[in-house]
Structure 1
Amino acid sequence: MSATDLRSILADPEHSGAYFIDVRDTESMAQAGEALDYAVLRVDLAGCNDKADLMQRFAAAGQFPDWFGGNWDALADALADLSWRPASGYLLLVEHADGWRAAHGECFDTLLDILNETAFRWAGNHTAFWALLPFPAELLAALED
């Protein structure tokens, strides 16, 4: 897919949400988001041990304010606000999420729900919010089964 095609897709808030992508597409997605002047936030979950660690990583990547409470509700509130990170759109790259999913399946599902609900809320304001989860190709194929 060309860079123009990626930008065209990412520019449409009606289709934004949480999506699994091939890990090989991570950098091209980040570049497309930057070309659209989106805030590109990278959350690296490599070695993430627990929910508290997950919250800290999201807070650091998003430069969340001091009021961030470090729980699911606070994560949903912070992602739905982002007033301290004004941008024409948002692109989260939640990297190495495959390990988190394998170790914390129920929490992973909760995170996906929050990311999708956040995208829906932003789309209501005509603002794109993409949460992309790069997975190795072989794991993507397993997700499709």
Structure 2
Amino acid sequence: MMQKYWALEHPWAHHVDKNSVPSVIAEAPQNAAAFVLNGLSMRSDEALFVEFARAMSFPDHFGKNWAALLDCLEDMTWNPPASSFLLVVSDWAAVLSESRDDKSLLETTLQEVGSRWAMEAPGRAPFNSLLVTETPSA
């Protein structure tokens, strides 16, 4: 069941409870890359961009805006090659809590990135995101 989080199929952003994360990571395919982002450090747009840059070692030219985030996530050539990518965003409830309008933009961005990697990227690779909550999803 956890393999769906490493798959090419929609959806690519998944709401999961924190107790599921170790099982998902344990089922990582060979040469997979997982990035853990601290949602408590992502309460504003600016803080979100800083945390993505830190956790994913974005290149120095990262522009710290939504378009630049999309560009970096769609072009992972600055990172070692991987068979699959997984973002784990802890404390999803805290993410963009100081700018609620943008939370849906982030989730849409992550879905779009997953779609492009699944359908358009050279060599197609799964790119999924776990949006982690404290309690089990209904």
TM over 0.5: yes
Moved more, 19-28 or 112-121: 19-28
User: Does 1:53 find its partner at 2:51?
Assistant: no
Give, in angstroms, the shift of residue 117 of structure 1: 0.4
Residues 5-64 of structure 1: CA deviation (Å, up to 9, x unaligned): 423x2442123511101111112212222x432110001121434211110000111110
Q: Residue 56 of structure 2 corresponds to which residue in structure 1?
A: 62
**Is the counterpart of residue 135 in structure 1 residue 133 in structure 2?**
yes
Work out whether residues 44 and 96 of structure 1, in 8 Å CA contact, stay in contact via their aligned partners in 2: yes
Q: Percent identity between the aligned chains?
A: 29
The one-letter amino acid paired with 1:59 is A
- TM-score, normalization by structure 1: 0.83
**Structure 2 Cα separation of the partners of residues 108 and 36 of structure 1:** 31
Which residue of the partner structure matches residue 98 of structure 1? Answer: 93
Distance in 2 between the 1:44 and 1:99 partners? 9
Give the structure with the larger helix fraction.
1
Matched-pair contact (CA < 8 Å) for 2:114–2:127: yes
Runs of 4+ in 1 over 4 A off after TM superposition: none
Whole-Å Cα distance in 1 between the matches of residues 54 and 96 of structure 2? 20
Inter-partner Cα distance in structure 2 for 1:16 and 1:89:
15
Structure 1: runs of 5+ lacking an equivalent: none
Equivalent of 1:24, from 10, 19, 23?
19
C-alpha spacing 1:61/1:101, structure 2 compared with 1 (3 Å): same
Q: State the distance in 2 between where 1:76 and 1:54 align.
A: 13
Report the number of matched residues.
134
TM-score by structure 2 length? Answer: 0.87
Q: Is the 8 A contact 2:91 2:134 kept in 1?
A: no
